[in-house]
Chain A
C-alpha cells in the first residue's frame, strides 16, 4: 500500500489558488490517486481522481507528473466554504476496495 505524505495544514485567503502536494514515492503501477474533502462533522466527499498527467473538473484540478511519485491538488479561487481537510489517497481503484485515509491537509481559508 503506497504511503502518502502531505502537509498537515495550510492557510489561504479568499480568492487565492490553493495547491496541496502529496508525495507517494512507492506508488504502484495499478494505483490511482484520489482526493477527498471532509468538512467538520461530515463524511468525506470525493473531489477528483487521476492516474497520470492532468485532470480537471468543476471543483479542482489534479496534476500528476510523469513519474507519478507526487501529485498536486489545485483549488482555484477558494472561498471560506472551502475550509476543510483534504485527503490524498493512493491505491487500486476497484469496486469494493477499502479507502485508506492518512492525516490529510487542513486548509483554512481566511477572509
Chain B
C-alpha cells in the first residue's frame, strides 16, 4: 500500500537555525499538507499546497515558514529561524484530489529546538 514518507524521523536543532523537513507524498496525489502537533496538544493545520502554490495557510504559518515542491516527488517545509516553541511533531499529508479527498499522513518528524 502506498505511504507518505518523511525524513528525518527526528531532528534536533539550535534556536535560530534553519531546518528543512522532507516529505515524499503518495505518487499521483495532487494535494499536499503540513500539520504539526505540539506534545500533548491537538494536531494543527499549517498549510495546504496544490498546483505549485499555497492553497491555504493558518496563522501559525508565518514568514518563518515556507513550503516547496522542488521536484516531482518531494514536498518540503522550511523553518527559517527556529524558535523553542517550534518544537513539535510535524506531519506531512497528501490527498489524491477530486474523488479522493482522504488525507493520508506520514509518520512525522519530531523536531526539538534547543
Contact = CB atoms under 8 A, between A and B. Distances in A.
B31 A95 contact: yes
Contacts of B68: none
Given A41-B108, A41-B110, A42-B108, A102 B93 contact: no
Interface range for B: 20 to 34
Output the residue of A46, A49, A93 with the most chain B CB within 10 A: A46
Contact of A42 (B93, B103, B107): B107
A96 B31 CA distance: 6
Interface in B89-114: 89, 91, 93, 95-98, 100-108, 110
A100 B96 CA distance: 19
A96 B56 contact: yes
Contacts of A98: 33, 45, 48, 56, 58
A43 B50 contact: no
Give me the 5 closest cross-chain CB pairs, A-B, nearest first. Answer: A43-B105, A101-B43, A98-B45, A43-B91, A95-B97
B18 interface: no
A28 interface: no
A47 B68 CA distance: 29
A103 interface: yes
Contacts of A43: 4, 91, 93, 105-108
Contacts of B101: 93-95, 97
Interface string A67-104: 00000000000000000000100000111111111111
Contacts of A42: 107-108
